């Protein structure tokens, strides 16, 4: 058992007056209970009446939202907004069983608007859940050994892990560790169990949150495990990225990368995306001590006055990378070893059928922007009824039907065929594209994303075909606001929403997520987006070197300047 290092000298709950309002709210919440249980019983409104409870529910994996398509109409009718809730499942490493799939499918049909969303951090989201159905969903998940604790909130979020079947032999070991880390860092409050499962409160002399304390983390904290050569999880975008080192059957340890993050805000010029820095190597057996030390550092030094500067990346830049590393080492009680060599090839998924050395078959299926509904939902339910392996949700919002034995492959192929599981008519660009949810559910969206990208991709496909570039793999990511939920700032082409129909256009990110892109045009509509891309593609088609990626070309050709420091300030 690893000893948890807690620096009580910085127990901030002692001096709350100097801190931001969310810190006081957390400290006064009775370890995330607040008055959520009472708010759920209030039948006067479809919302949760207390704004503090709305924030606290995020720690329970639940977001209050409203249907933004109906906002104006309801305002005119003097009705309250059409409140409903998003529920995010905690699914470390993105792996679930067929019986869990069937339960999730069932809950989405009965309580979640007959749709499911696969997220960029390898989990499921239900949208459109009404207040009186929240308990049904959470208890239904509990029946199948799933929960939503810490899927959102100021805590360690869903832990990611590479799911590429080609990494299978090492995958089992790393996925087990990812799950162990997820269990280790999960909030320990019993508040969740009391509110959602009806457990009785038990008086105990033990500390309710031995690691987090009453104020939890200053902000969300994200951990991800990558297995080279696949960087599907975008390890440089994680607060704590762990790069597995070893051979199949012999996992040795992890290179440790700290301080990645995508979020930025137009309103706050001192916010920026940042790539994580690799600071050293730890043997696998010392990993939990490392996780405690890194998270403990951020818990104790993160900014608790200004939430917009509270992510780990800003703490590191404020304290300096060297000092941060030394302090983490002090807390671990040992030094990092020199980081081990590794290389990444790509951050996308390899689609279609593969067979691994253990004789199992895997099918990676393209799910456009992670959205599952209608005939696709039916097809996947049919597959879950016969499948004996696992489902793996990829960090690119796709799905792997994994671990299929010889005798089941034909059945699954037939079921896929009934749907239209044929990848050949899906362009390379579309397969490598990703959009965040945005409208109509996301309260922060300024522009469309998931509902618009498919249409825009069709138009960009035409440009690529005209230049003979349709086979060229390139990454394209869109968001409805600058927050970066589809990790746009490391894509070769990115569009982030500014206003309805208007986006900032970024070019020059690294193909395997190793380099930030740069903004080339601000606040532009579709016509100028296509015109700008058309010009860049023309030059690329004429001047590209053999095997040169589009992002690399944009830098070499001077279309954008390279971001050299691993972060950029708002352009």
- Interface with ligand SF4 (CB under 6 A), residue from 479, 504, 514, 517: 479
Q: Is 346 one of the binding residues for ligand SF4 (CB under 6 A)?
A: no
The two tokens of residue 255 are 């290179």
Buried b (16+ CB within 10 A) or exposed e, 18-44: ebbebbebbbebebbbbbbeebbeeee
User: Residue 244 contacts by C-beta under 8 Å, 6 or more apart in sequence?
Assistant: 162, 170, 174, 225, 226, 227, 228, 251, 254
Residue of 36, 436, 520, 533 that binds ligand SRM (CB under 6 A): 436
User: For this structure, is 135 an active site residue?
Assistant: no
Rounded to 5 degrees, φ, ψ at 42 are -70, 115
Tell me: does residue 478 bind ligand SF4 (CB under 6 A).
no
> Is residue 485 marked as binding?
yes
The site that binds ligand SF4 (CB under 6 A) totals a number of residues, namely 13
* Rounded CA separation 124/117 (Å): 6
Annotated active-site residue in 161, 379, 485, 554: 485
Is 152 labeled as catalytic in the residue annotation? no
Of these, 111, 396, 449, 514, which contacts ligand SF4 (CB under 6 A)? Answer: 449
Closer CB to ligand SRM, residue 476 or residue 559? Answer: 476
CA gap 399, 525 in Å, rounded: 32
Q: Is 554 a catalytic residue?
A: no
Active-site residue 179, yes or no?
A: no
Is there binding between residue 119 and ligand SRM (CB under 6 A)? yes
Examine the residue annotation and report whether 88 is marked as an active-site residue of this protein: yes
Least separation in angstroms between residue 243's CB and ligand SF4 is: 26
Query: From the centroid of its chain, how far is CA 347?
Result: 14
What is the dihedral sign for C-alpha 553, 558, 563, 568? negative
* Rg, Å, the chain Cα set: 23
Q: In what order do the strands lie in the sheet with 83-88?
A: 62-66, 83-88, 124-129, 115-118, 371-373
CA distances from 250 to 113, 174, 181, 224, 227 (A): 45, 10, 19, 20, 13
Q: Which residue is nearest to ligand SRM (CB)?
A: 263
Contact 196, 189 (CB under 8 A): no
For residues 111 and 486, which CB has a smaller minimum distance to ligand SRM in the complex?
486
Angle between helices 287-301 and 312-319 (to 10 degrees): 80
Q: How far is the CB of 567 from ligand SF4 (least distance, A)?
A: 18
Could you give the string, one character per residue 429-448, with x where binding to ligand SF4 holds by CB under 6 A and - elsewhere?
-------xxx---x-xx---
Alpha-carbon span 161 to 452, nearest angstrom: 29
Of positions 26, 55, 121, 512, contacts ligand SRM by CB under 6 A: 121
CB 519 within 8 A of CB 489: no
Q: How many CB atoms lie within 10 A of CB 345?
A: 12
Verify binding: residue 442, ligand SRM, rule CB under 6 A: yes
Question: Residue 436 catalytic?
Answer: yes
Report the nearest approach of ligand SRM to the CB of residue 127 (Å).
6
Give the helix ranges, DSSP H, for 493-566.
526-543, 550-556
34, 191, 263, 389: residue in contact with ligand SRM (rule CB under 6 A): 263
**Buried/exposed code over 182-209 (b: 16+ C-beta within 10 A; e: otherwise):** bebbbbbbbbbebbbeeeeeeeeeeebe
Residues in the chain: 571
436 has binding-site annotation: yes
**What residue 88 binds from ligand SRM, ligand SF4, none (CB within 5 to 8 A, per partner kind)?**
ligand SRM
Closer to ligand SRM at the Cβ: 221 or 537?
221
Q: Pick the binder of ligand SRM from 163, 243, 257, 485 (CB under 6 A).
A: 485
Q: Does residue 220 carry a catalytic annotation? A: yes
Interface with ligand SRM: number of residues (CB under 6 A): 29
Q: How far is the CB of 153 from ligand SRM (least distance, A)?
A: 10
Among the residue ranges 101-109, 256-264, 334-342, 504-512, the one whose residues contact ligand SRM (CB under 6 A): 256-264
Q: Which of 436, 498, 518, 554 is catalytic?
A: 436
- To the query of whether residue 481 is one of the catalytic residues in this protein, the response is yes
Place of tokens 């994680």: 238
Q: Does 481 bind ligand SF4 (CB under 6 A)?
A: yes
What lies within 8 Å, CB to CB, of 76 at 6+ separation is none
Tell me the two tokens of residue 49: 């009446």
- Residue in 98, 259, 480, 551 binding ligand SF4, rule: CB under 6 A: 480
Among 29, 125, 231, 504, binds ligand SRM (CB under 6 A): 125
Here's the x/- map for ligand SRM, 137-176, by CB under 6 A: it reads as --------------------xx------------------
Q: What is the H or E stretch that residue 168 is in?
A: helix 168-185
Q: Which is nearer to ligand SF4, 321 or 444 (CB)?
A: 444
| Contact yes or no for 240/218 (Cβ under 8 A) | no
End-to-end CA distance of the chain: 47
Residue from 152, 161, 167, 481 carrying the catalytic annotation: 481
Binds ligand SRM (CB under 6 A): choice among 100, 230, 441, 514? 441
Would you tell me which residues interact with ligand SRM (CB under 6 A)? 63, 65, 86, 88, 119-121, 123, 125, 157-158, 222, 237, 261-263, 311, 370, 436-437, 441-444, 483-487
Catalytic sites, residue numbers: 88, 157, 220, 222, 436, 442, 481, 485
- What residues are designated binding site for siroheme? 485
Would you tell me which residues interact with ligand SF4 (CB under 6 A)? 436-438, 442, 444-445, 449, 479-481, 483-485
- What residues are designated binding site? 436, 442, 481, 485
């Amino acid at each position: 058992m690893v000893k948890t290092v807690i620096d009580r000298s910085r127990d901030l709950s002692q001096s709350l007056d100097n801190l931001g309002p969310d810190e006081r709210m957390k400290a006064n919440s009775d370890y995330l209970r607040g008055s959520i249980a009472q708010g759920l019983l209030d039948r006067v409104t479809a919302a949760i009446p207390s704004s503090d409870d709305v924030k606290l529910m995020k720690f329970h994996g639940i977001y209050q939202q409203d249907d933004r398509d109906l906002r104006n109409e309801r305002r005119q009718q003097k009705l309250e907004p059409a409140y409903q809730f998003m529920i995010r499942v905690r699914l470390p490493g993105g792996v679930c069983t067929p019986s869990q799939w069937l339960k999730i499918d069932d809950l989405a049909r009965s309580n979640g608007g007959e749709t499911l969303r696969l997220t960029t951090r390898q989990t499921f989201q239900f949208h459109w859940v009404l207040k009186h159905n929240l308990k049904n969903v959470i208890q239904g998940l509990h029946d199948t050994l799933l929960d939503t604790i810490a899927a959102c909130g100021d805590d360690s979020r869903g832990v990611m892990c590479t799911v590429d079947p080609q990494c299978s032999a090492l995958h089992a070991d790393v996925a087990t560790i990812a799950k162990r880390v997820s269990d280790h860092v999960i909030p320990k409050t019993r508040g969740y169990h009391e509110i959602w499962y009806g457990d009785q409160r038990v008086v105990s002399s033990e500390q309710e949150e031995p690691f987090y304390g009453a104020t939890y983390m200053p902000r969300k904290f994200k951990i991800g495990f990558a297995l080279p050569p696949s960087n599907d999880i975008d390890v440089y975008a994680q607060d704590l990225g762990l790069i597995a080192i070893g051979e199949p059957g012999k996992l040795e340890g992890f290179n440790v990368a700290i301080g990645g993050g995508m979020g930025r805000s137009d309103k706050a010029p001192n916010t920026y995306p940042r790539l994580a820095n690799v600071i050293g190597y730890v043997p696998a057996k010392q990993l939990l001590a490392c996780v405690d030390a890194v998270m403990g550092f951020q818990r104790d030094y993160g900014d608790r006055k200004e939430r917009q500067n509270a992510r780990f990346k800003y703490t590191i830049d404020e304290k300096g990378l060297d000092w941060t590393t030394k302090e983490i080492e002090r807390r671990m009680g040992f030094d990092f070893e020199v980081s081990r060599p590794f290389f990444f090839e790509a951050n996308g998924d390899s689609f279609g059928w593969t067979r691994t050395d253990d004789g199992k078959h895997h099918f990676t299926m393209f799910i456009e922007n992670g959205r599952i509904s209608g005939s696709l939902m039916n097809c996947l339910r049919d597959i879950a009824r016969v499948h004996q392996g696992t489902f793996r949700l990829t960090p690119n919002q796709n799905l792997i039907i994994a671990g299929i034995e010889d005798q089941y492959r034909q059945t699954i192929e037939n079921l896929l065929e009934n749907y239209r599981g044929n990848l050949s008519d899906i362009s390379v660009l579309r397969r490598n594209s990703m959009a965040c949810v945005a409208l109509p559910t996301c309260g922060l969206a300024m522009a469309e994303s998931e509902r618009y990208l498919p249409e825009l991709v069709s138009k960009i496909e035409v440009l690529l075909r005209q230049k003979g570039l349709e086979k060229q793999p390139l990454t394209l990511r869109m968001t409805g606001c600058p927050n970066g939920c589809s990790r746009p700032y490391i894509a070769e082409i990115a569009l982030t929403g500014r206003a309805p129909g208007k986006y900032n256009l970024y070019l020059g990110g690294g193909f395997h997520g190793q380099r930030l892109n740069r903004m080339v045009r601000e606040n532009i509509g579709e016509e100028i987006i296509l015109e700008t891309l058309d010009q860049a593609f023309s030059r690329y088609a004429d001047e590209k070197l053999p095997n040169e990626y589009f992002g690399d070309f944009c830098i070499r050709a001077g279309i954008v300047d390279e971001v050299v420091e691993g972060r950029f300030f708002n352009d």
